[in-house]
Amino acid sequence: MTIAQVQIRDRSSEESCVADNGFCPDWIWDNFDRYVDPFWDHVYLTVVAVAIGFLISFGLALLAYRRRWLVAPIVNVTGILYTVPSLAAFFLLLPITGRGTTTALIALVAYTLLIIFRNVLAGLDNVPEEAKDAGRGMGLTQRQLLWRVELPLAVPEIVAGVRVAATTTVGLATLAFFAGAGGLGGEIFADINFKSNVVTAGGLCVLLAAVLDLGLLLVQRAVSPWSRA
């Protein structure tokens, strides 16, 4: 597959800044519209991929928490998924799932699994033994202990994992356009020599990553006020 180098500007009539591939605020202002839809595609890819990745890894971590023998196989499989070069993953999936959002999401989800799984498990493992003992001794069932004591105490580490996964996914999603899923990556590669273009699309990626990261941090603070006490 070849990557079409689409011309997004008319070089002949533009002033010299644009013609010189420079950083041109005026051009960005006039052309900002073209980045809005790809930006929302990017948000969609990132949020959905992290949400699905979270559900899968969270479920796996709960399973593996009680059945320790599952830890090694899960870490191995998600580890392999994590090390497949991202670009290769998109192309490997194309013959199976075709071009489109599904393909991109599968690959993006695969990258979140190891990070989130390990953090959920670490969070659960770090719950103080004496708190668990006291909980059991007072008559909490296994399930009550998990939902009322262990998981709330693991929240800071779980959210930390989701934050890393979210920022990583924002970056990886720039490659999603290779699978035909759009996103800011399409804009970046459309005219990779033009600074104004790269800075705008890239800047939106950074902004998205920062907003997601901060948002998750605020969520964590809100649901675990004790961790600051």
- Where do contacts with other proteins occur on this chain (CB under 8 A)? 128, 130-141, 144, 149, 152-153, 155, 224, 226-227, 229
CB of 198 within 8 A of CB of 192? yes
Residue 73 Cβ vs other proteins, minimum distance, rounded to whole Å: 26
Residue 130 Cβ vs other proteins, minimum distance, rounded to whole Å: 4
Our CB check for other proteins shows the closer of 143 and 193 to be: 143
Our CB check for other proteins shows the closer of 95 and 139 to be: 139
Residue bearing tokens 């948000």:
43
Our CB check for other proteins shows the closer of 28 and 219 to be: 219
Residue 150 Cβ vs other proteins, minimum distance, rounded to whole Å: 10
Residue 125 Cβ vs other proteins, minimum distance, rounded to whole Å: 15
Our CB check for other proteins shows the closer of 96 and 229 to be: 229
Please list, in sequence order, all residues whose beta carbon lies within 8 angstroms of the beta carbon of residue 97, skipping any fewer than 6 positions away.
103, 106
Distances (CA, A) of 139 to 124, 128, 132, 135, 142: 20, 17, 11, 7, 9
Sign of CA dihedral 113, 114, 117, 123: negative
CB of 131 within 8 A of CB of 149? yes
CB of 109 within 8 A of CB of 78? no
